[in-house]
Amino acid sequence: MHHLAKKLSEEVLKRKEVLVVTHIDADGITAGSIASSSLTQAGIDHDVLFVKSLDDDAVGRILERSPEFVWFTDIGAGSYDLISDMSGIITDHHVPSESFVGGGRGRLLPRIQAEGPNMLNPHLYGLDGSLDVSGAGVTYVLAKEMNSENVRLSSLAIVGAVGDMQDRNHRRLIGSNRTILKDAVEDGSVRIDKDIRYFGRVTRPVPRLLKYSTDPLLPGLNGNHSACVRFLEEIGIPPKAEDEWRCWSDLTSSEKQSVVSALVTLLLESGLGHEHIERIVGECYTLVREKERSVLRDAKEFATLLNSCGRYDKAHIGMEICLGDREESLDKALSLLRTHREYLVESLAVAADMGIIELDHLQYFHGGTRIKDTVIGITAGILMSSPEIDKSRPLFAFAHSDEGVKVSARATDSHVSRGLDLSVVMREAAETMGGAGGGHNIAAGATIPFNKEEEFLELAQKMIVDQMRPG
């Protein structure tokens, strides 16, 4: 993989102009920023284009620019047929289309084209792109081959990996991400902390951190601010200091230990087992060069800020932050983050109002025009981690977009262990009806024509049955 990265980096360094095409989520924004920064460092003129997906419309926008060379980051692997005539490279971690690997998905070596895009992708080396390395990470591997000084970009690759939830299974980054993490630690930009894994450990008051906790959910505390305040007071932890709410980072080590111990007791008394308890604490990644209590200081919060930019058509603002803007762009992004949090609450309420429809082999809900297509996947992911959702079947979610109907699908590790690969389901079912799709085995997306939802679900169910072994 590093040998190919070296070869592709040499191709990039030959160019006078490059168009970077990247995705709009946190992983895509960090990947595009890594590419942009490495091109700037090399003195290569370039522009960055953000796209929701690589469909005919996006390809048309690319071709209108008549690019000399295109660098696709965190996108392109599943859309190889659409871009195979372009001159460029792909650094992506999604499952490649079968046309690229010559019909043998998962082969150890890629089919390198004499012309057209060449791809750096973990799946081509037997690695899992949903856990081993993100799109930002793959892009970083190539950037580091362009110039060893680009190790300075390793912290962005960590933000991309965390934003892609690649630490979810093991409560820490593993595989190639671990190598990148080592670079970031040695560079002095990232510190590994063993800490509570809930979102907001740097910026949220502790009662809010508990109120909005997920993975695991906290029975009796979720959604109830006053209950969270009482919980802290009952174990002797003052929630305020001089009339100011205390954040998790304000607590002493012994206070943090007391809270975690009390949460363990709460989960045990609620009948939840070890698999839930062990998820409370894990590795967290602190960006030590950022200001104390800044949303940019914790990798998870940094990634959420970037997601809030991309989901509301402002991905370029996220990239400016990645490239160093801590003033105007950061202020705009913080405003978007507040909007994003409010909208997610509304989207979850819409999903609850619509209701989850259960079929034999999957379950789904349709957000229509009431949930943005850029947020439907996040909504599905939150719901899939909720105890109210049936975990025996994958969850599909629909929302209308300008291009058609956006479909997002989420599964569990148990589904994947039994053979489910949502990237294949989404790609092949969507292509059957003139759409496009792809992603990972556990999380994938597609865009299909309007009024094709029932046909899509029927095809998806058949494929799920063919893929999955009995539980």
pLDDT confidence of residue 469: 86
**Does residue 31 register a pLDDT over 90?**
yes
Q: How many CB atoms lie within 10 A of CB 55?
A: 17
Comparing 116-125, 141-150, 329-338, 457-466, which segment has the lowest mean pLDDT? Answer: 116-125
pLDDT confidence of residue 97: 81
Higher pLDDT, 112 or 328: 328
pLDDT confidence of residue 117: 54
**Does residue 290 register a pLDDT over 50?**
yes
> Which residue intervals of the chain bear CATH 3.10.310.40?
355-467
pLDDT confidence of residue 80: 84
pLDDT digits (tens, 9 = 90+) for 42-57: 999 999 999 998 888 8
197 vs 246: CA distance, rounded Å: 17
Residue-averaged pLDDT of the chain: 91
Q: How far is CA 438 from CA 66, 79, 82, 404, in A?
A: 26, 8, 13, 16
Higher pLDDT, 136 or 84: 136
pLDDT digits (tens, 9 = 90+) for 295-325: 999 999 999 999 999 989 999 999 999 999 9
Domain 2-186 classification at class level: alpha beta
**Does residue 285 register a pLDDT over 90?**
yes
pLDDT confidence of residue 275: 84
pLDDT digits (tens, 9 = 90+) for 336-394: 998 887 888 899 889 989 999 999 999 999 999 999 998 999 899 888 877 678 889 99
Region 211-221 average pLDDT:
86
pLDDT confidence of residue 343: 87
> Which residue intervals of the chain bear CATH 3.90.1640.30?
2-186
pLDDT confidence of residue 223: 81
pLDDT confidence of residue 105: 37
pLDDT confidence of residue 215: 80
The strands making up 404-410's β-sheet, listed across from edge to edge, are: 357-358, 363-366, 395-401, 404-410, 443-448, 436-439
pLDDT digits (tens, 9 = 90+) for 265-275: 999 998 888 88
pLDDT confidence of residue 104: 38
Higher pLDDT, 123 or 34: 34
Q: Which of 108, 126, 115, 62 is nearest to 89 (CA)?
A: 115
Comparing 31-40, 99-108, 121-130, 234-243, which segment has the lowest mean pLDDT? Answer: 99-108
pLDDT confidence of residue 90: 94
pLDDT confidence of residue 99: 66
SS3 annotation, the chain: CHHHHHHHHHHHHCCCEEEEEEECCHHHHHHHHHHHHHHHHCCCEEEEEEECCCCHHHHHHHHHCCCCCEEEECCCHHHHHHHCCCCEEEECCCCCCHHHHCCCCCCCCCCCCCCCCEEECHHHHCCCCCCCCCHHHHHHHHHHHHCHHHHHHHHHHHHHHHHCCCCCCCCCCCCHHHHHHHHHHHHCCEEEEEEECCCCCCCCEHHHHHHCCCCCCCCCCCCCHHHHHHHHHHCCCCCEECCEECEHHHCCHHHHHHHHHHHHHHHHHCCCCHHHHCCCEEEEEEECCCCCCCCCCEHHHHHHHHHHHHCCCCHHHHHHHHCCCCCHHHHHHHHHHHHHHHHHHHHHHHHHHHCCEECCCCEEEECCCCCCCCCHHHHHHHHHCCCCCCCCCCEEEEEEECCEEEEEEECCHHHHHCCCCHHHHHHHHHHHCCCEEEECCCEEEEEECCCCHHHHHHHHHHHHHHHCCCC
**Does residue 81 register a pLDDT over 90?**
no
pLDDT digits (tens, 9 = 90+) for 87-99: 899 999 998 887 6
- N- to C-terminal Cα distance for the chain? 35
Q: What is the architecture of the domain spanning 355-467?
A: Roll (3.10)
